[in-house]
């Protein structure tokens, strides 16, 4: 029978009784019977017998040198542990065979890693030599040079000088004037390119816009419909007082972070070019305001987004699977973001032989190397090569490491130790700790911060490197949690807007940390709400100032001591006032048409606000007359719109029906208020009455809005025809025909102005209303000038001066009409316009069929022209709307449908057929 091998206890006993003659490293020969029992290189590397790993070995050994180290411990060198490349060994298949077979034989000799003698060298697959180290040091070792922190952590002197008692001062350090001016200039350029050459926005208005975005996140309304924030019943008072809903939508529509003219060239070199300048300016500001402490955490952040983007990532382990990935470096103690950049896919700057994790850590830590800091990261980033590089730059690293790395010995990968046991391997000053935290799962941590590993005395016997990693690994996770709690993220089709939302979240966190450290206030939501008030206050005050009315009772000529009727608001029903508008000096009960939203829309909004009250606040003497008077004023305005020549009979009947329904709903509501007078809580009947009243006013508003769109659809068709006919008569010198066409031209101009005023009366877009009224005033002023220029040309048709003068006024008229059309389209919702245009086109098609059956060519030609004008207008409006979206499959299909409608649709076929007839 073969002799059995020595057990570990027997080997230890044998080594403790080595003769002093052989203590200087002299070779021991195989003639010693006891030495022949030790496993030798031939035992560990032999591959002749496949079952030799399970048999007792009795093979002749080679010489093994045993030397005594300086501390008296015996040092053993097992040459068989080093990987040997025998013929066929590297290509063998099957578990425990082939390339890793000599390394696994070490665990065949010892039952676990803890039984391997100290200072034993273990070679990894890439040739890295590790030595088994002890974990029983009484005191931790001396800190290495890479762990001597040389900075003073906290806010920088620059931040201390600029942060005062206001929260916005800290926020201004993150989003400074450079970033705001960049966003401002790019937004204005985009609006003037696609919308209007006179569009403008100020820094104060942009601050108010950002304040509303922050409020939306702080109150958890980012998933609600935007209209809910301005709702009369459920809306936020701060939002409504800061900015109008349509203005907010307009700014969001044109919000850009780069210049369109240079975009194509920049995107060839920078995938992040649409917002890269703004992002890296923010990172520069963050680094200049705060010095991180000795411990920094590095990890990835996935900002939820499903926009069409070249670098959208899918991560199944995240709550939101799709999004934009960012690499973040965060101060471990304060959770301050010190560096961040996006993952854009393959980077040309990174060499092919450099791991992505190594590249990310080096780039994030570039400003903070050689200052004695430590990095905590997970297994995606940690590697031996990275640890050595950082150590040479005065920076340490602690992190879990993947078992699949080639620098990890195979015996360590396959080891299953006793529960709560620890094995330490060392390479120079780098420690590899193997901790068996669970029965079937261990964890590997690489550290250049811990030269010696201490073991806790509690039940789990955790190494100090594990405890340190657990206490410092969550920095980025906490930042992500804080950002998601009050995130400003909202639906958008443009990925730069989502990136800007993430930037605002991170800027809010950093500014809160600065404000907390310098002022001692530690409530994140309170700071958010205070910032929004401070940002919105200048613009809100300017709105109040611009809308102020001046009471001048004695400045109306001829009526110094009397009150006058309202000369501005047609729906005032003859009420009198001594108040004058500051702009137009007309007697008015409200501001002049050049200021604020439309009169009828504003009256409806005021009525909706006043009709909802507590039962205790209701007074039969005051409340009933006030509400009835306001409702009758609204109905008077609706009656004026219904009686307009452009209003269709069907729409007129609907408006009248809705007005009667609103009157009845108000009487029911007042009856319920009387029944609940004196109660603190609203009864179910009162709540139903309020809901019914809101529904009826909403229906009336819808019918009025559709009536306005009816007017727009009928009036803004072939607006250049009256001018062409007028100029044609003038060039021919036909003065009698010119006067007839002048009357038609005047009626056309008056109709455009009337429709423009009706559109303004039902719009809440204050800036859009100003633009429409300004364009309407230009049209009204140009009309007589164009007619006079045509008369001069008719009197002298061969005069070059008269011809140039007439052409100049004609161009001015075309430009004014175009500006008015665009302004009207801007405050008219595209949904209403498309729905009404579709109904009108179908009606005109039926008229064409009737005209064909009756043989009426004039009616057929007139109706066909209307169809052609409506189709052209729909195509123009939709094409303009598509310019506001990023090019994608949706915009492509819409534009294809526009082409079909314009060139090949059934309506175009009807027009062409009508032209042939």
Secondary structure, 3-state, 603-664? HHHHHHHHCCCCHHHCCCCCHHHHHHHHHHHHHHHHHHHHCCCCCCHHHHHHHHHHHHHHHH
114-123, 206-215, 451-460, 899-908: the lowest-pLDDT one: 899-908
The rounded percent of the chain whose pLDDT value lies above 70 is: 75
Q: Residue 74 pairs with which residues in a beta bridge?
A: 68
Cα–Cα distance measured from residue 683 to residue 49, given in angstroms and rounded to the nearest whole number: 92
Query: Over 70: is that where the pLDDT of 830 sits?
Result: no
Average pLDDT on 162-185 reads 91
pLDDT at 19: 52
247-251, 493-497, 658-662: the lowest-pLDDT one: 658-662
pLDDT at 27: 42
Query: Over 70: is that where the pLDDT of 878 sits?
Result: yes
Q: Which long-range contacts (CB under 8 A, 24 or more apart) does 899-903 make?
A: 901/871, 901/874, 901/875, 902/871, 902/872, 902/875
| Highest mean pLDDT (candidates 69-78, 349-358, 711-720) | 349-358
β-strands 66-68, 74-76 pairing: antiparallel
136-145, 367-376, 701-710: the lowest-pLDDT one: 136-145
β-strands 396-400, 374-377 pairing: parallel
Give every CB contact of residue 310 below 8 A, 6+ residues apart in sequence. Answer: 271, 344, 345
| Highest mean pLDDT (candidates 547-551, 786-790, 843-847) | 786-790
Rounded-to-10 torsion of CA 136, 142, 148, 153: 50
Q: What band does 85 get if pLDDT is binned at 50, 70 and 90?
A: very low
pLDDT at 250: 93
270-274, 620-624, 711-715: the lowest-pLDDT one: 711-715
Q: Give the single-character DSSP code of 3.
A: P
Q: Which long-range contacts (CB under 8 A, 24 or more apart) does 6-11 make?
A: 6/37, 6/38, 8/110, 8/111, 8/115, 11/38, 11/117
Query: Over 90: is that where the pLDDT of 329 sits?
Result: yes
pLDDT at 528: 64
- % helix, strand, coil for the chain, step of 5: 55, 10, 35
Cα–Cα distance measured from residue 556 to residue 554, given in angstroms and rounded to the nearest whole number: 6
How many residues in total does the chain contain? 917
The rounded percent of the chain whose pLDDT value lies above 90 is: 25
Cα–Cα distance measured from residue 466 to residue 9, given in angstroms and rounded to the nearest whole number: 30
22-31, 319-328, 895-904: the lowest-pLDDT one: 22-31
Q: What band does 829 get if pLDDT is binned at 50, 70 and 90?
A: low
Distances (CA, A) of 294 to 146, 283, 291, 628, 684: 11, 20, 10, 70, 62
Cα–Cα distance measured from residue 358 to residue 386, given in angstroms and rounded to the nearest whole number: 6
14-28, 167-181, 333-347, 828-842: the lowest-pLDDT one: 14-28
31-45, 139-153, 277-291, 587-601: the lowest-pLDDT one: 31-45
Average pLDDT on 324-343 reads 95
Q: Residue 322 pairs with which residues in a beta bridge?
A: 314
Cα–Cα distance measured from residue 898 to residue 876, given in angstroms and rounded to the nearest whole number: 9
pLDDT at 52: 37
Distances (CA, A) of 361 to 184, 320, 393: 34, 25, 13
Give the chain's mean pLDDT.
Answer: 77
Query: Over 70: is that where the pLDDT of 93 sits?
Result: no
pLDDT at 3: 47
The CB density around residue 488, as the number of other CB atoms within 10 Å, is: 22
Query: Over 90: is that where the pLDDT of 156 sits?
Result: yes
Q: What band does 44 get if pLDDT is binned at 50, 70 and 90?
A: very low
Full DSSP string of 761-788: HT---HHHHHHHHHHHHHHHHHHHHHHH
Query: pTM (2 decimals)?
Result: 0.54
Cα–Cα distance measured from residue 528 to residue 516, given in angstroms and rounded to the nearest whole number: 12
pLDDT tens-digit readout, 534-571: 887 777 776 654 443 333 333 333 333 445 555 444 44
Q: What band does 281 get if pLDDT is binned at 50, 70 and 90?
A: very high
pLDDT at 333: 92
pLDDT higher at 362 or 615: 362
Cα–Cα distance measured from residue 215 to residue 528, given in angstroms and rounded to the nearest whole number: 8
Domains and CATH numbers, the chain: 154-265+492-542 (no CATH), 290-486 (no CATH), 594-704 (1.20.120.230), 710-914 (1.20.120.230)
Q: What band does 833 get if pLDDT is binned at 50, 70 and 90?
A: low
Which has the closest alpha carbon to 666: 678, 654, 674?
A: 674
Average pLDDT on 305-330 reads 91
Return the residue matching tokens 């529960």: 419
pLDDT tens-digit readout, 677-700: 777 778 888 888 888 888 888 888
The CB density around residue 796, as the number of other CB atoms within 10 Å, is: 12
Average pLDDT on 295-312 reads 92
204-208, 274-278, 552-556: the lowest-pLDDT one: 552-556
CA angle 625/631/636 to nearest 5° reads 125
pLDDT at 95: 42
pLDDT higher at 33 or 873: 873
Q: What band does 776 get if pLDDT is binned at 50, 70 and 90?
A: confident
Query: Over 90: is that where the pLDDT of 502 sits?
Result: yes
Q: What band does 910 get if pLDDT is binned at 50, 70 and 90?
A: very low
Cα–Cα distance measured from residue 389 to residue 365, given in angstroms and rounded to the nearest whole number: 12
CA 915 remoteness from chain centre: 51
β-strands 295-304, 322-331 pairing: antiparallel
27-31, 251-255, 466-470: the lowest-pLDDT one: 27-31
β-strands 129-133, 396-400 pairing: unpaired
């Amino acid at each position: 029978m073969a002799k059995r091998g020595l057990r570990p206890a027997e080997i230890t006993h044998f080594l403790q009784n080595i003769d002093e003659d052989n203590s200087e490293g002299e070779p021991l020969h195989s003639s010693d019977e006891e030495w022949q029992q030790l496993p030798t290189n031939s035992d560990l590397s032999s591959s002749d017998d496949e079952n030799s790993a399970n048999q007792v070995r009795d093979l002749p050994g080679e010489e093994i040198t045993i030397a005594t180290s300086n501390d008296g411990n015996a040092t053993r060198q097992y040459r068989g542990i080093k990987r040997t490349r025998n013929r066929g060994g590297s290509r063998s298949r099957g578990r425990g065979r082939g390339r890793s077979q000599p390394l696994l034989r070490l665990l065949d000799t010892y039952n676990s890693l803890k039984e391997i003698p100290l200072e034993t060298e273990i070679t990894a697959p890439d040739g890295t030599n590790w030595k088994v180290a002890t974990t029983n040091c009484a005191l931790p070792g001396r800190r290495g040079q890479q762990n001597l922190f040389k900075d003073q952590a906290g806010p920088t002197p620059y931040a201390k000088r600029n942060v005062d008692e206001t929260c916005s001062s800290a926020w201004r350090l993150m989003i400074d004037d450079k970033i705001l001016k960049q966003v401002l200039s790019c937004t204005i350029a985009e609006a003037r390119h696609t919308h209007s050459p006179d569009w403008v926005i100020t820094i104060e208005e942009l601050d108010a816009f950002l304040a509303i975005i922050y409020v939306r996140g702080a109150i958890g309304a980012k998933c609600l419909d935007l209209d809910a924030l301005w709702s009369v019943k459920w809306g936020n008072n701060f939002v409504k007082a800061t900015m109008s809903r349509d203005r907010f939508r307009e700014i969001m529509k044109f919000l850009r972070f780069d210049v369109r003219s240079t975009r194509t060239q920049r995107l060839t070199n920078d995938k992040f070019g649409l917002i890269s300048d703004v992002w890296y300016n923010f990172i520069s500001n963050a680094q200049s305001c705060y010095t991180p402490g000795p411990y920094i955490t590095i990890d990835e952040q996935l900002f939820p987004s499903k926009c069409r983007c070249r670098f959208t990532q899918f991560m199944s382990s995240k709550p939101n699977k799709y999004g934009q990935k960012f690499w973040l470096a965060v101060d471990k103690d304060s959770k301050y973001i010190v560096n961040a950049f996006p993952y854009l896919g393959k980077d040309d700057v990174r060499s092919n032989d450099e791991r992505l994790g190594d590249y990310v850590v080096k780039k994030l830590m570039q400003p903070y190397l050689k200052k004695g800091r430590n990095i905590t990261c997970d297994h995606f980033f940690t590697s031996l090569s990275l640890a050595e590089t950082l150590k040479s730059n005065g920076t340490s690293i602690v992190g879990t490491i993947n078992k699949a790395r080639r620098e990890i010995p195979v015996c360590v990968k396959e080891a299953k130790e006793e529960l709560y046991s620890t094995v330490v391997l060392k390479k120079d000053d780098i420690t590899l700790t193997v901790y068996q935290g669970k029965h079937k799962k261990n964890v590997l941590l690489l550290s250049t911060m811990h030269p010696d590993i201490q073991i806790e005395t509690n039940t789990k016997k955790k190494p100090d490197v594990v405890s340190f990693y657990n206490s410092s690994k969550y920095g980025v996770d906490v930042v992500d949690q804080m950002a998601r709690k009050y995130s400003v993220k909202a639906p958008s089709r443009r990925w730069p807007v989502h990136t800007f939302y993430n930037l605002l979240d991170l800027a809010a966190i950093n500014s809160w940390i600065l404000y907390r450290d310098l002022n001692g206030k530690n409530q994140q939501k309170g700071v958010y709400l205070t910032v929004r008030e401070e940002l919105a206050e200048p613009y809100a005050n300017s709105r109040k100032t611009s809308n102020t009315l001046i009471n001048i009772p004695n400045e109306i000529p001829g009526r110094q001591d009397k009150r006058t009727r309202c000369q501005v608001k047609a729906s005032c029903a003859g009420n009198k006032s001594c108040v004058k508008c500051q702009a137009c000096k007309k007697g008015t009960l409200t501001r002049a048409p050049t200021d604020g939203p439309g009169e009828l829309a504003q009256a409806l909004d005021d009525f909706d606000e006043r009709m909802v009250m507590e039962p205790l606040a209701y007074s039969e003497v005051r409340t009933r007359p006030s509400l009835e008077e306001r409702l009758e004023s609204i109905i008077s305005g609706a009656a004026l719109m219904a009686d307009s020549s452009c209003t269709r009979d069907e729409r007129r009947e609907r408006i009248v029906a809705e007005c009667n329904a609103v009157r009845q709903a108000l009487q029911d509501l007042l009856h319920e208020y009387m029944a609940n007078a004196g109660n603190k809580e609203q009864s179910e009947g009162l709540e139903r009455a309020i809901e019914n009243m809101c529904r009826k006013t909403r229906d009336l508003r819808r019918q009025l809005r559709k009536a306005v769109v009816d007017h727009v659809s009928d009036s803004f068709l072939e607006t250049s025809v009256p001018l062409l006919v007028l100029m044609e008569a003038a060039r021919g010198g036909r003065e009698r025909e010119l006067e007839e066409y002048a009357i038609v031209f005047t009626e056309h101009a008056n109709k455009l102005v009337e429709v423009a005023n009706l559109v303004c009366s039902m719009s809440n877009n204050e800036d859009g209303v100003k633009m429409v009224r300004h364009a309407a005033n230009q049209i009204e002023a140009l009309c007589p000038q164009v007619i006079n220029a045509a008369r001069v040309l008719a009197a002298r048709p061969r005069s070059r001066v008269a011809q140039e003068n007439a052409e100049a006024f004609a161009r001015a008229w075309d430009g004014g009409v175009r500006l008015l059309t665009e302004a009207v389209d801007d405050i008219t919702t595209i949904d209403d316009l498309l729905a009404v245009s579709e109904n009108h086109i179908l009606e005109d098609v039926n008229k064409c069929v009737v005209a064909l059956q009756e043989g009426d060519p004039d009616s057929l030609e007139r109706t066909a022209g209307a169809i052609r004008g409506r189709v052209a207008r729909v195509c123009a409006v939709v094409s303009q709307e598509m310019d506001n979206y990023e090019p994608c499959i949706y915009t492509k299909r819409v534009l294809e449908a526009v082409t079909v409608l314009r060139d090949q649709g059934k309506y175009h076929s009807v027009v062409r057929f009508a032209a042939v007839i």
